[in-house]
Structure 1
Amino acid sequence: MKFIFIRHGETCANIDKLIYGITHSEFTDNGLKQIDKILDYVRLQEVDYFYSSPLKRTQIIAEKIQECIGKKAQFIDEIGEMNYGIFEGLTSDIALQKYPDAYNQFMNDYKNYVIPEGENVLDFDKRVISFIDKIKDKEGTSVIVTHGGVIRTAIMHLLNLSSEDRWHFKILPGMIIEIEYKYEYGVLLQMINN
């Protein structure tokens, strides 16, 4: 399988440095330009499978890609961004000020700590990996419109890296990441920054 992961374009929450996973945020002007560059890239690809996170910021892009390639997206819950619960929509400073115990516990044990009204990284990874494992041995090319956290987890899994290695990859808004996965071995082909 050739994986083409597409992170949604820049949003106002990205600019404001908010913690957000499931919360919607509108695209910036730059984010809208990034969508146009994503469409220019996708037009040139042979796409066998097309998946998207069901969150609004990815649905918007998926609908534009559908028009471009003539193939409907399958909206997959497992590749939605992590739910940051009580931290959603807050800056790190405000989250620390408003929920000091919860924020410190999350920062000290982010993999295991379940954010109140949210989830933890271990469960998030499990759901993303579960979906990737269902499709990774198929022939062809998959376009997956999703989020930075999902892409980091997918990279970690497909390249057989440790959980901590995810932080070596900066997945910017509008970025496109290509990974070839064959014979139980993943290769990072390119990272395109729009």
Structure 2
Amino acid sequence: MNLYLIRHGESLGNLNGEIQGCKDYPLSELGKRQVESVARYLKNIELNYLYSSDLTRAYDTAKVIGQAKGLTVHKWEKVREVHLGPLQGLSRNEIYEQFPATLKRSILTSGINGTETTDALTKRCQYVIDQLQLAHENDDVGIVSHGGFISILLMYLLTGDQWPTLHRPFQIQNTSITHIEWSKNSNKPLIHYTNRTQHLESLMDDQSQVGFL
């Protein structure tokens, strides 16, 4: 199986500097342009199936990719962003002020009451991988998800249940692509690349010329 993890385009939450979690936001105007760029790039990548988080910013990204690829988008709530409860909708500084524990622990795994626990995230990662391997052993699959969940899923693949105790080094930018492969003779994943954003280079050039940056 070849698995392509795609982060959604920039959302209004991203634009406004808000920590989103599972709070729903639409794509920004820049996000829509990013999505068009990644959809064009993915035309040259084989995909048989396309899944998406059910949150608007991811699903709207997936719909454009699906149109470009001629694929139906299947909503899958298991790949939505980490639920951050009382932190959702706040800026990073507001979170640090109101919840000082986040100064020492990642916002995604702070353990603050009302946020998704690391145990729940571990079970979610295990379920997603198990279901993909059962249903798509010989397929090329795209999943449109979120920066936090993609980075945690990568950590789970590399380190298993101990992922919450380790530093999570991955940067996952808007509409970036991460490619993971499981060969037919091995259950061990091969990570070809993470956070690929070369499809945005021409968009960045266009923005600089018309004053978007």
1:31 maps to amino acid? G
Report runs of 4+ in structure 1 exceeding 6 Å deviation: 109-112
For residues 109 and 10 of structure 1, do their structure 2 counterparts lie closer, same or farther at Cα, with a shift above 3 Å needed?
closer
For residues 40 and 131 of structure 1, do their structure 2 counterparts lie closer, same or farther at Cα, with a shift above 3 Å needed?
same
1:62 maps to amino acid? A
The number of residues matched between the two structures is 191
> What do you get for the CA RMSD once the two structures are aligned?
2.4
Structure 1 residue 21 displacement after superposition? 1.1
The residue number in structure 1 matching 2:157 is 158
1:55 maps to amino acid? L
The residue number in structure 2 matching 1:55 is 55
Taking the aligned partners of 1:89 and 1:57, their CA distance within structure 2 comes to 15
What per-residue deviation string (whole Å, max 9, x for no partner) do you get for residues 47-88 of structure 1? 122111111111111222222222212211111111110110
Taking the aligned partners of 1:90 and 1:45, their CA distance within structure 2 comes to 37
Give the % identical residues. Answer: 24
Structure 1 residue 165 displacement after superposition? 5.2
| Contact kept? 1:112, 1:122, Cα under 8 Å | no
- Look up the SS of the partner of 1:190 in the other structure: strand
For residues 105 and 47 of structure 1, do their structure 2 counterparts lie closer, same or farther at Cα, with a shift above 3 Å needed?
closer
- Look up the SS of the partner of 2:144 in the other structure: strand
| Contact kept? 2:96, 2:103, Cα under 8 Å | no
Gaps of 5+ in 1: none
Are positions 1:128 and 2:131 aligned together? no
- Look up the SS of the partner of 1:167 in the other structure: coil
- Look up the SS of the partner of 1:177 in the other structure: strand
Taking the aligned partners of 2:90 and 2:108, their CA distance within structure 1 comes to 20
Structure 1 residue 132 displacement after superposition? 1.5
Gaps of 5+ in 2: 201-213
The residue number in structure 2 matching 1:184 is 187
2:31 maps to amino acid? G
Instruction: Give the alignment's TM-score, normalised by structure 1.
Output: 0.85
Structure 1 residue 6 displacement after superposition? 0.4
| Contact kept? 1:111, 1:120, Cα under 8 Å | no
Taking the aligned partners of 1:63 and 1:179, their CA distance within structure 2 comes to 22
- Look up the SS of the partner of 2:10 in the other structure: coil
1:133 maps to amino acid? D
